[in-house]
């Protein structure tokens, strides 16, 4: 912690002596007062000077009180130096060095009128003490510190010494390169001195009356002689920065609400502003309110004691002033900390004191105002006596001490400047290096840009290149597309050829089958009609496949005995005709034929009257439609048994009869099948079931015959035996639609409970055309044909 210039120097502490400490100030007694024209001193000695100047400052009415008191009791006389206090019984004039009303002169005007000249003196090395004296609420702090709109004397003085931006206020030449100030801020409270710039709290706090949000406890300082020891200070040459610091610490002052002032300063505040380069010193003292204990309205012993202690400084100062003014041999400077610190201000003949007496215009405050003015008038009367040789001798030693102090402060400041200079030098070097680096980077970038500019292509060239590349890519793409197209065409062609080959192959197979069929038919004819017939058939077969169909008609054209000729009973088709057990068709069409092996399904041609060419074509179609499968042969006896009796033309009764016959037939067949199916189903049988299963799978289940589907589905879960048990074989002959003419014969397996509708569905599946209409012609047990 750096000491204040005055306290840091041991020299100043030990050797500094108040020049006039051993010499009484001449006071204004008539006898000794040199100002008095009749005084002896005036005759013998040159007139002494007044070390204390007194200015009256009348604050404006607080709030709306002005309206309530239209007639002011304080009146400034035209000479501007006399203040008249009016009372009911008369008036009293107080002669001062100046009077100012804050209503007429704001702080700026007041500063310029009464303070500025003294600050200029400090700048030149003079010493000046400005102290605010007056009762609480009279505007002391306001005048000293001001308000945000109007800076007080403290800040204006700083600006006056250092200038706005480190230059002097008038914007002229600075007072040498080393013009700076050192500022110490002290607070005297309860007869203790505290360092408001200290934040470490070495001296402990008060615990009473601290302002809210204070920066913690303050350091307590000791007084050595007439100076404080180890006080912190702010040094610098920028008024703004220092002002900000003072503003901060000023808030740390102890304030308290009193009857007289809501935020009453309960302490004396002393701002010591040294200008080491010239030895100037400005002491700004904002004194606590000068009211007495009762006026302060404090209650309680402790509070009263505090008020008493606060007043101790005021009372001591009052006594000092009176003592000096009276020419007493002893001036009680040491009665209070305040007067100890102000001793130099009174005794140093180069020091001037400006006492600002603050007064309120409120008539209620008249008593305090009069007291204050009386006090000021006394202080104004202090006259500093002429110098004596002894004093000169003392002055010399004092001057030496002062010089030593100044030199120490200068050394300190120079050291500080050197450090700052080094720091700035370092920053400058770093900035310079950074600048060089940036320059290099900029040069490199420039070179890059320039290089690109010379070697690079123009925009048109770049565009042309891009277009060229795009064209190449497009051509390549088109080539690839062509290739793909060709490949696809080749593939299609290949596939087409393969399909053609397959068709040819299938045609060959069909041809082979046709031939095989012819052989079978031939064998069949041989077995039935004998050799001649066989020869005839062979001849017919040789003559073309159309004869095959013709022969089939010959063979199967008649209704098979025991078969039902059905006209789709469910759909109201023409009624089927039932054969009698003799196997004779009602039309006399159906011939008898015995058990036989052969086709389960054949296509019957009805008309073979067309010309040869047409016949050949139709034969080809018929051959293609042939479905050959192995067929089990049933005995004709069964058919005979199952065959219904000869039907008559009575439609209703014959229909009922026929239906009954069908179910009888189916029932008989079921019995037969049950007998047969005790054996394990043969492979063809299993294949047939599989065939139906695959057919049924492709069906739309909702529209499928329930019995059949059930059977087929059950077949999946049940073994063949069970499935065979559940089925019977039925011989069915039907006629397809007119679009696809022809008759079909086949044996079908149906479930035992199947209805004609189921059978119809089965045939639809068989035809693989759901929408294809057809008509039942015959229905009967297997082997009945």
In the complex, what is the shortest distance from the CB of residue 207 to ligand ATP, in angstroms, rounded to a whole number? 21
CB of 245 to ligand ATP, least distance (A): 21
Structure tokens given for 728: 């019977």
Q: Are 11 and 24 in contact (CB under 8 A)?
A: no
- The pairing of strands 52-58 and 351-359 is parallel
Q: Are 355 and 53 in contact, with CB atoms under 8 Å apart?
A: yes
Q: Tell me the sheet residues that pair with 526.
A: none
Residue 63 or 453 with smaller CB distance to ligand ATP: 63
How many angstroms separate the CA atoms of 270 and 353, rounded?
A: 14
- Could you tell me whether strands 223-224 and 351-359 are parallel, antiparallel, or unpaired per DSSP bridges? unpaired
**Close Cβ partners of 129 (under 8 Å, ≥ 6 residues apart):** 282, 283, 284, 285, 342, 345, 351, 352, 353, 354
DSSP structure class, residue 590? P
Was 137 annotated as part of a binding site? yes
- Give residue number: closest CB to ligand ATP: 139
Query: Counting runs of H as helices and runs of E as strands, what totals does the chain give?
Result: 23, 21
List, in sequence order, every residue forming a beta bridge with 187; answer none if it has no partner.
194, 269
Q: How far apart are CA 378 and CA 370, in angstroms?
A: 12
Q: Is 152 annotated as a binding residue?
A: no
537 close to 522: Cβ distance less than 8 angstroms: yes
* Residue 236 vs 361, nearer CB to ligand ATP: 361
**Could you tell me the smallest distance in angstroms from the CB atom of residue 311 to ligand ATP?**
11
Class of residue 105 by CB neighbours under 10 A (exposed 0-12, middle 13-18, buried 19+)? middle
* For ligand ATP, the closer CB: 140 or 733: 140
Query: Smaller CB distance to ligand ATP: residue 8 or 141?
Result: 141
- Is position 138 annotated in a ligand binding site? yes
- Report the candidate in 424, 435, 285, 289 with the shortest Cα–Cα distance to residue 345: 285
CA quadruple 606, 610, 612, 616: dihedral sign: negative
Q: Which is nearer to ligand ATP, 152 or 780 (CB)?
A: 152
Least gap, CB of 435 to ligand ATP (angstroms): 52
Which is nearer to ligand ATP, 91 or 208 (by Cβ)?
208
Tell me the closest approach of the beta carbon of residue 68 to ligand ATP, in angstroms: 17
Identify which of residues 267 and 669 has a Cβ nearer to ligand ATP in the complex.
Answer: 267
Chain positions contacting ligand ATP, by CB under 6 A: 59-60, 62, 102, 134, 136-142, 261, 264-265, 288-289, 358
Distance CA 6, CA 183 (A): 11
Q: Is 244 marked as a binding-site residue?
A: no
Q: Within 10 Å of residue 783's Cβ, how many Cβ atoms?
A: 26
Q: How far is the CB of 170 from ligand ATP (least distance, A)?
A: 27
Q: E strands of 365-439, at which residues?
A: none
Between residues 48 and 134, which has the closer beta carbon with respect to ligand ATP? 134
For residue 629, the cross-strand partners are none
Minimum CB–partner distance for residue 287 and ligand ATP (Å): 7
Residue 167 or 374: the one with the smaller Cβ distance to ligand ATP is: 374
| Alpha-carbon span 665 to 659, nearest angstrom | 10
Report the residue number, 261 or 546, with the smaller CB distance to ligand ATP. 261
Nearer to ligand ATP, 141 or 747 (CB): 141
Q: Is 139 annotated as a binding residue?
A: yes
The continuous run of DSSP H or E covering 532 comes out as: helix 459-543
User: According to the annotation, is 136 in a ligand binding site?
Assistant: yes
Residue 345 in marked binding region: no
581 is in an annotated binding site: no
Which SS3 state, helix, strand or coil, does residue 58 take? strand
CB-wise, 374 or 641, nearer to ligand ATP? 374
Q: Please, what is the Cα angle at 152 between 146 and 155, to 5 degrees?
A: 130
Q: Which two tokens stand for residue 454?
A: 């010379």
Radius of gyration of the chain (CA): 70
The DSSP string of 656-700 is HHHHHHHHHHHHHHHHHHHHHTTSPPPHHHHHHHHHHHHHHHTS-
Closest CA to 343 of 279, 270, 290: 270
Q: Please, what is the minimum distance in Å from the beta carbon of residue 142 to ligand ATP?
A: 3
Cα–Cα distance measured from residue 653 to residue 593, given in angstroms and rounded to the nearest whole number: 29
Give binding residues for ATP as ranges: 134-141
Which residue ranges make up the annotated binding site? 134-141
């Amino acid at each position: 912690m750096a000491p204040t210039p005055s306290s840091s120097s041991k020299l100043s502490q030990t050797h500094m002596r108040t020049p006039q400490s051993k010499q009484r100030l001449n006071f204004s007694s008539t006898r000794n007062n040199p100002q008095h024209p009749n005084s002896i001193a005036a005759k013998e000695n040159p007139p002494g000077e007044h070390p204390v100047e007194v200015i009256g400052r009348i604050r404006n009415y607080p709030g709306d009180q002005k309206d309530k008191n239209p007639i002011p009791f304080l009146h400034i006389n035209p000479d501007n130096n006399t203040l008249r206090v009016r009372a009911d019984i008369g008036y009293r004039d107080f002669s001062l060095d100046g009077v100012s009303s804050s209503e007429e002169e704001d702080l700026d005007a007041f500063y310029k009128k009464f303070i500025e000249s003294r600050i200029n003196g400090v700048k030149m090395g003079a010493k000046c003490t400005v102290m605010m004296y007056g009762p609480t609420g009279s505007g002391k702090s306001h005048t000293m510190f001001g308000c945000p709109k109007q800076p007080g004397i403290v800040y204006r003085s700083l600006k006056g010494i250092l200038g706005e931006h480190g230059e002097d206020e008038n914007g002229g030449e600075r007072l040498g390169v080393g013009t700076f100030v050192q500022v110490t801020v002290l607070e005297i409270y309860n007869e203790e001195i505290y360092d408001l710039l200290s934040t470490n709290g070495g001296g402990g706090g008060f615990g009473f009356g601290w302002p809210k949000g204070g920066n913690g406890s303050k350091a307590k300082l000791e007084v050595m002689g007439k100076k404080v020891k180890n006080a912190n200070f702010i040094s610098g040459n920028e008024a703004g920065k220092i002002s900000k610091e003072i503003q901060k610490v000023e808030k740390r002052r102890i304030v308290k609400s009193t009857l007289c002032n809501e935020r009453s300063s309960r302490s004396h505040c002393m701002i010591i502003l040294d200008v080491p380069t010239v030895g100037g010193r400005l002491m700004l003292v904002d004194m606590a309110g000068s009211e007495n204990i009762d006026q302060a309205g404090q209650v309680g012993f402790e509070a009263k004691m505090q008020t008493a202690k606060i007043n101790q400084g005021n009372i001591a100062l009052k006594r000092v002033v009176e003592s000096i003014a009276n020419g007493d041999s002893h001036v009680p400077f040491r009665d209070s900390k305040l007067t100890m610190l102000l001793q130099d201000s009174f005794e140093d003949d180069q020091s001037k004191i400006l006492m600002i007496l603050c007064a309120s215009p409120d008539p209620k405050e008249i008593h305090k105002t009069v007291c204050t003015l009386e006090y000021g008038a006394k202080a104004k009367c202090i006259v500093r006596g002429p110098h004596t040789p002894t004093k000169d001798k003392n002055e010399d030693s004092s001057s030496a001490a002062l010089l030593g102090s100044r030199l120490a402060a200068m050394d300190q400041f120079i050291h500080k400047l050197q450090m700052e200079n080094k720091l700035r030098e370092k920053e400058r070097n770093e900035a310079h290096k950074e600048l060089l680096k940036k320059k290099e980077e900029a040069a490199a970038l420039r070179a890059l840009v320039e290089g690109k500019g010379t070697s690079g292509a123009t925009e048109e060239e770049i565009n042309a290149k891009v277009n060229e590349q795009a064209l190449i890519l497009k051509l390549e793409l088109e080539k690839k597309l062509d290739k793909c197209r060709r490949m696809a065409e080749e593939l299609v062609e290949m596939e087409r050829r393969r399909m053609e080959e397959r068709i040819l192959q299938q045609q060959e197979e069909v041809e082979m089958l046709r031939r095989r069929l012819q052989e079978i038919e031939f064998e069949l004819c041989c077995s039935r009609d004998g050799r001649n017939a066989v020869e005839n058939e062979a001849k017919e077969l040789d003559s073309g496949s159309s004869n095959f169909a013709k022969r089939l008609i010959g063979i199967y054209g008649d209704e098979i005995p025991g078969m039902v000729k059905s006209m789709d009973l469910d759909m109201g088709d023409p009624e089927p005709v039932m054969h009698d057990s003799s196997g004779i068709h009602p039309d006399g069409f159906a011939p008898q034929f015995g058990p036989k092996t052969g086709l389960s399904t054949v296509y019957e041609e009805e008309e073979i009257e067309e010309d040869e060419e047409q016949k050949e074509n139709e034969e080809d179609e018929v051959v293609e439609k042939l479905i050959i499968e192995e067929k089990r042969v049933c005995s004709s006896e069964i058919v005979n048994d199952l065959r219904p009796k000869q039907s008559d033309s009575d439609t209703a009764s014959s229909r009922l009869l026929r239906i009954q016959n069908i179910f009888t037939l189916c029932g008989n067949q079921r019995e037969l099948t049950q007998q047969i199916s005790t054996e394990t189903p043969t492979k063809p049988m299993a294949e047939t079931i599989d065939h139906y299963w695959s057919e049924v799978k492709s069906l739309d289940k909702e529209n499928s015959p329930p019995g059949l589907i059930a059977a087929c589905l059950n077949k999946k879960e049940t073994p063949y035996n069970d499935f065979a048990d559940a089925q019977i074989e039925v011989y069915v002959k039907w006629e397809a639609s007119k679009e696809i003419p022809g008759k079909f014969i086949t044996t079908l397996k149906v479930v035992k409970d199947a209805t004609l509708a189921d059978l119809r569905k089965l045939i639809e599946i068989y035809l693989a055309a759901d929408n294809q209409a057809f008509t039942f012609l015959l229905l009967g047990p297997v082997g009945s044909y």
